[in-house]
Amino acid sequence: MINGSLFHFEKIIILLSLLTGATVTKSLPEKVLVAPVPCTMSNGKPRPYPCEFAIQTVWFMGKNGNVVGKITPGNTSVKLPKSKADSSFTSTAGESFIYTVAVDFRRINVPAFPKKEVTIPGLGFYTISTSTVDSPISPGELTVVRRLDVGPSLPKSGLRPVRASFKLQLNYAMSGGQPTLIAPVRYIQIANPITFTKFPSSINLYRDRAEAWITCSASVDFSK
């Protein structure tokens, strides 16, 4: 009888929540993060191998490590204050500004293939690369900016994401009396070197072969 009363009471609560717009929540046990669906490629088809990571936030830091901007998968454009650049220099070609970039990403799938051990101290297995085009298709369009190791196990939900940092240089030349941004970074990817080579040659877009990627538009705000 008690169980029946509790069931009846729970139904009343749910009905009231539907009428008032309130949200009923239940306490669930902690679970590891798992990608809800297989990763898809640019053509909308499932990726042959589940992508290992998801990029959450890309932070831009200037003097004293202060955050001066960020991009996310839903907002990929940022203007960085000139006065807060980590450093800058002038040359005959123009003026350059340097910021620190920190990529926060999280593992969402285990590796499709066992990673190869790197015997050189300090040289990690996974690569983080940038490109001045938003969809690279050849090695010459990528620049490796960081190598790091990431554990193969899925993290617990409360664990902080992995963070990897590198330097970003934004170069400006004068054109018509105005500073013009020259060949800025437009793309960041995280790659598993083994999985990257397992794709058929018909899949030539690097964003489809990468474990995670994000396009970006970073520029300098000369008024700040």
Residue 172 and residue 180 in contact, taking contact as beta carbons nearer than 8 Å: yes
Tens digits of per-residue pLDDT, 5-25?
A: 444 434 433 433 434 344 333
State the pLDDT at residue 6.
Answer: 40
Indicate the average pLDDT of the chain: 85
Determine the residue type at 149.
Answer: D
Tens digits of per-residue pLDDT, 174-215?
A: 888 889 999 999 999 999 999 999 999 999 999 999 999 999
Calculate ∠ Cα 137-142-146, nearest 5°.
140
What tokens appear for 57 in the block?
């936030």
What tokens appear for 27 in the block?
């306490």
Highest mean pLDDT among 13-17, 31-35, 87-91: 87-91
State the pLDDT at residue 204.
Answer: 95
Q: Give CA–CA dist 42/211, Å, rounded.
A: 13
Tens digits of per-residue pLDDT, 121-139?
A: 889 999 999 999 999 999 9
Q: Give CA–CA dist 132/183, Å, rounded.
A: 6
pLDDT above 60: residue 156? yes
State the pLDDT at residue 113.
Answer: 93
